[in-house]
Structure 1
Amino acid sequence: MRLTSLKELDQSEGTVKLQQERGENGAEIVLVPAPSKTDPNDPLCWPLWKKHVAFTSICAFTFLTNYAIGGLAPAFFGLHLEFNKSMTETSNLLLWPILVLGVFNFFWVPLANYFGKRPIFVFASLLLCLCYVWGATAQSFESLMWSNIIAAFAGSSTEALGASMVNDLYFLHERGAKMGIYMNAISGGNTIGPLICGFIVQSLGWRWHKWIAVIFTAINFVAVLLFVPETRYNRDLGKSRLDASTSGLASVSEEGFSVEKIKSSSVKEVARQPSSFPVPQVPKKTFLQELSLWSGTPKTNLVLMAIRPLPMIVYPAVIFSFLCYSISLVVVVAVNILQSFVLQAPPYNFRPQIVGLLNIPGLLGNLFGAWAGGNIVDWFCAWRTKKNNGIYEPESRLYMLIIPFLITPAGCIVFGYGVERSLSWVALFFGYGMISVALAATPTITMAYVSDCALPVNSDALLLVNGLKNIVAFGFLYGIVPWVEKVGYRDCFGTLAGIFVGVVGIGAITLIMFGARLRHITAQWRIIL
């Protein structure tokens, strides 16, 4: 068995030429990775509408997973009374699915790498719909919980694969904004779901929350079946760049990179893709051919694909990303679990739909976090790249972690202190909005950083991030109710704020200072099967 290194798969080691100056009035974006000039089936060469429809369908799949499972939170107080379960037992409706969402990344990603992403998405989206039918008709607490667990098994297929799809469809300079949209789909399900569920529970009962999810997941299954072709593509990065140097699709710099001219003083994306190719050597697939669930298998053994990601845990980018994502998930889901018990009990005595309104600031925090971690980071990286003579360093993304670093710990303190002292609901709402910034901003930045550092094996690296963060989060959240009951909300959320500051702050500073050196060292390690 021959082990390879990242450097053998991609000579750039994450440092690439992303901008090429052309005179005083313009700059050119280097397309990384370069699209194939001979194969119109390369996902990077698809028309923009086709990319966006496929990506939106998978984002909707991800959203609906979290919408129906996490969205049930405002009903927890009523479910705890209906089924005569304790607070801790009721919280298992969310806790065990969180664990499953992480663990089964290790099942789906190797299968997708071997058989392709399309058959996985089609099967899993159908299974998700059937699980919600099961949940809507469940007659016992155990049945409801198992419907959520199996639904999480189906939905876990999008956790890492959805993020890796960003790299299949879009270029490096587009990655931040698109990852922000994907993270909004995940976090949005956890905020919009409870917001809507609160009103549904009060008016129609919690079962209708599940039936509405059934309707939307059925529509999404049809969208995935018809509009999500296979995005797995066997891309030889070195050959792609060589191809691009002779292609008529874009102008070419003296270094041999494919570039796209921008007629302005600042560098910005020109979202135009070629619709025709000069004498294509590969025939374009028809719509019916793209509906096929079979796209072939690689020569690599499936067992090797299953164990291949594990050694990559030694990469600093992977360690940092999964720790940041873990603590961001913990602080947000902790509020989701506790909100019903806090706001429906004295002194607040809110009805379920009012509890759901807590997710309005959560949604606003998610939207701001995704914008900050996506668009702002892309703008900042473009500015730094221009200052660096067109050379892009992945560590440029990490500077913008200062936004969640300042906002989220303050939100933890406001929320914890507010509940402890029974302050106005306004304090709780503001606190949760500030906390929610982290769940979109932090993983958007750090997962894009992982993709930049390990592009040839990004799906395996993101598998580790998404799988391990849920396992770590489960460990924290499994004890969140007993922890709060023992030390109180102020001390509990104050400790979470300190952990967030330590993980994000120390990690970001370390990688900003030494990340490039560590990247080049670890790129030499022969740990890839």
Structure 2
Amino acid sequence: MGSRKSEDDPNVETIETTLEFDADTHRQPQPSEGFIKLIQNDSVILIPRPSQDPKDPLNLPTWHKGVIILLVGLYSAISVLATSGLGAVFPYVVKDYPDQATRATDLLIYPTLFMGIGNLVSMPLTLALGRRPIFLISLLMLAVTGLWCAFSTSLTSHIAGRNFLSMAAGQSEALAPFIVEEIHFLHERSTKIAWYIGVQAAGTAGMFVATTYIVPQFGLKWWYLIITFISFGILALSFFFVTETMYNRADDPLAESDPDQKPTTRESHRVRPEIYGPRTWKHDLKMFHYKANWSEVLIFYKQTAQGFCIPSIMWLLLLNGACLGVYVYHASTFAVILMAEPYNFKSAWLGWVQLVQVLDCVLLIPIVGYGSDLLVKRLSAWRKGMFVPEDRFISLALPIIAVILACVIYGQAGAHPEKWHWMAIAAPYHIGLFAFMSANLVAITYSIDSFPKQGGALLMVICVGRGFISFGLSYSTVPLIDATGYDGAMNILAIICGVLGAITIPMYFLGPRFRRWALRTFWAVDKSL
């Protein structure tokens, strides 16, 4: 028990148990070891270790980090709206293509697929070129393709424009949360990602309400133009405030790889502008901070392929896909059910139903965001300061139970609307979204906590994988309803979510072994593991 020396580096110790740790060690804990010292002498250790350079993104002032969360959240919100917002006003879209109604459904189906393709193309480039240029180029592409769609003169051109728009929007799934993660420490990541998702969901909900009024009154052209104007506005603000978040701390003489340095806490951390030079606007506005390293692209794709072989990552992908499947099912059918007998909802009312998504944010941020960070700190203190990434899984308990109940209630209300209040449709719809956002938050945080150097590739595994799952579900929704009815289809999804939810328990205990196996097999962090 205790620790042993690595064959690769005699200065690096490998923790053999989560329950024992040398409390007197002064070595900065390494996330790559899987088990991390997070609490020491009642102080939270800053992981990763920030350098003393003011230009280190971890040293950004709190207000600047908050602005970055707001801007990437708004980018994600407008991306989600642009790719999925047509569903609520699709009858008005079809009027523009009266003889091509069936083919017009491609405007709704293909965006999810092309968002995944956008991730596959762009995420590797963030390692070769940096996060800032890819993020800004994505925003510019989103605005330009919005103009394309607004002035398209045929359905073929409209579909093509939306496909490229969706590729630009794809970075809202992996790159945007990756940027948020990179400017925050391990003990606060869940909270900050919850705020990011909250901005995204609240922004999308508000603009969804506006969509139900804009399209019927002013037409689809102005809807796209408004999206374009907002995208240009976010682009202008992002140019000034979304700085490069990729930073090589290994070049710092006090880097986290130095085994002789004491752990860094809020109290002990100091920024040294007199040594490294101050952070300046000239530095922040620079587009490319690193020389292009194209070999990183191949490494990224290799790490992505390896990510599909890690059981805990694959399980999180499937859980995300299942929760997304429930949300896609609800989003595709709730309007049809509510507008029919006996509810007789008007089209405009659907936007206000969508606005209730704000309540999902109200639940997500304190329960899964702050709650997860608070829980891992408490459990780390109980383990004599040791943090275990699988502690994040505990916060999945409420969302998993909630999504199962939401499936059952929604299915019964959809099959027998005369016996149920309309809230039996609206409430499960939002509960399903809460479950998906929670699963997404945990998957993002766990992946980067467990494999910080491969975090970008693993985020792409989860985000792109679930996108392809969603694309398949988009095609299967109507046939599944026709074959089994609303109750039968939702019971199937409830069972799938229940099985994947039950796997949380063995995954909590087996996760450390899977992580150590992956580190040893794929990335040779410590061959003696």
State the TM-score bracket (shorter-chain normalisation): 0.7 to 0.9
Moved more, 336-345 or 482-491: 336-345
Contact 1:73 1:194 in 2 (8 A): no
1:290 is aligned to 2:284 = yes
Q: What is the 5 A alignment of 1:207-246?
A: 207-236=221-250, 240-241=255-256
The aligned counterpart of 1:499 is 496
Moved more, 122-131 or 314-323: 314-323
Quick one: distance in 2 between partners of 1:409 and 1:429? 15
Change (3 A) 1:130 1:110: same
Question: Aligned-pair distance for 1:303?
Answer: 4.6
Q: What is the total number of aligned residue pairs between the two structures?
A: 498
Find the residue that maps to 2:289 and give its secondary structure.
coil
Quick one: distance in 1 between partners of 2:407 and 2:106? 23
Gaps of 5+ in 1: 22-26, 247-255, 262-271
Quick one: distance in 1 between partners of 2:38 and 2:101? 52
Match of 2:458 among 432, 449, 461: 461
Find the residue that maps to 2:114 and give its secondary structure.
helix
Deviation per CA, 1:328-372: give whole Å up to 9, x if none.
222112222223333334444432211222213333234413432
Find the residue that maps to 2:33 and give its secondary structure.
coil
Contact 2:320 2:466 in 1 (8 A): yes
1:94 is aligned to 2:88 = no
TM-score, normalization: structure 2? 0.86
Change (3 A) 1:528 1:155: farther
Quick one: distance in 2 between partners of 1:362 and 1:56? 18
TM-score, normalization: structure 1? 0.86
Change (3 A) 1:170 1:283: same
Quick one: distance in 2 between partners of 1:489 and 1:166? 38
Deviation per CA, 1:150-203: give whole Å up to 9, x if none.
111011123211122123100001100111123334444554443332233344
1:17 is aligned to 2:14 = no
Match of 1:373 among 365, 368, 372: 368
Give the percent of matched residue pairs that are identical in Structure 1 and Structure 2. 24
Match of 1:49 among 63, 66, 71: 63
1:320 is aligned to 2:315 = yes
Question: Aligned-pair distance for 1:54?
Answer: 2.4
Quick one: distance in 2 between partners of 1:81 and 1:238? 65
Contact 1:245 1:258 in 2 (8 A): no
Change (3 A) 1:211 1:349: farther
Contact 2:328 2:473 in 1 (8 A): no
The aligned counterpart of 2:24 is none
Q: What is the 5 A alignment of 1:72-111?
A: 72-84=86-98, 89-111=103-125
Quick one: distance in 1 between partners of 2:494 and 2:391? 25
Question: Aligned-pair distance for 1:278?
Answer: 6.6
Q: What is the 5 A alignment of 1:30-429?
A: 30-37=45-52, 39-84=53-98, 89-188=103-202, 191-236=205-250, 240-241=255-256, 256-261=262-267, 276-277=271-272, 279-280=274-275, 282-297=276-291, 299=293, 301-308=295-302, 309-422=304-417, 423-429=420-426
The aligned counterpart of 1:269 is none
Deviation per CA, 1:225-273: give whole Å up to 9, x if none.
1111111111339962366975xxxxxxxxx211235xxxxxxxxxx98
Moved more, 366-375 or 350-359: 366-375
Contact 1:65 1:189 in 2 (8 A): no
Give RMSD over aligned pairs.
Answer: 2.9
Find the residue that maps to 1:488 and give its secondary structure.
helix
Quick one: distance in 1 between partners of 2:292 and 2:96? 51
Q: For 2:381, give the aligned amino acid.
A: K
Q: For 2:263, give the aligned amino acid.
A: F
Contact 2:179 2:245 in 1 (8 A): yes
Gaps of 5+ in 2: 1-7, 15-28
Change (3 A) 1:299 1:206: closer
Moved more, 169-178 or 70-79: 70-79
Question: Aligned-pair distance for 1:299?
Answer: 4.8
Quick one: distance in 1 between partners of 2:291 and 2:99? 48
Find the residue that maps to 2:266 and give its secondary structure.
strand
Change (3 A) 1:87 1:331: farther
